[in-house]
Structure 1
Amino acid sequence: MDIWEQHFGLADDCLRACVFGDYIFRQEPPVDSAWFAIGDMCYADAVISWNQLFGQRSQETHWSRLTEKIKIPEGDKLRPFGRDMIIEYLSISNEEWVRYHKEMVDMRNMRIAHLNLSQTVDVIPNLTKAMRCSYLYRDWLTEALHLGKRLGIDINISSQRAKDASEIFRSQIHNAYNGI
Structure 2
Amino acid sequence: MFASMLAMALALSLLTGAVGVPAAPPADPDIPAPGGTSDNSWNAPKTVESTEIVSAYIYTMNPGWSETLTARCYRFSVKTEDNVVTGTYVTDGGDLQTFTADRDFLTKLQQIVADGALVKYNGHARYTYGLPDDFGTTVRIEYASGEYIRFSDNQSPMMSAETLTSLAALFEGAVEK
Higher Cα Rg: structure 1 or 2?
2
Normalized per residue, which structure has more strand? Answer: 2
Shorter-chain TM-score bucket reads under 0.3
TM-score in terms of structure 1 length: 0.27
Normalized per residue, which structure has more helix? Answer: 1
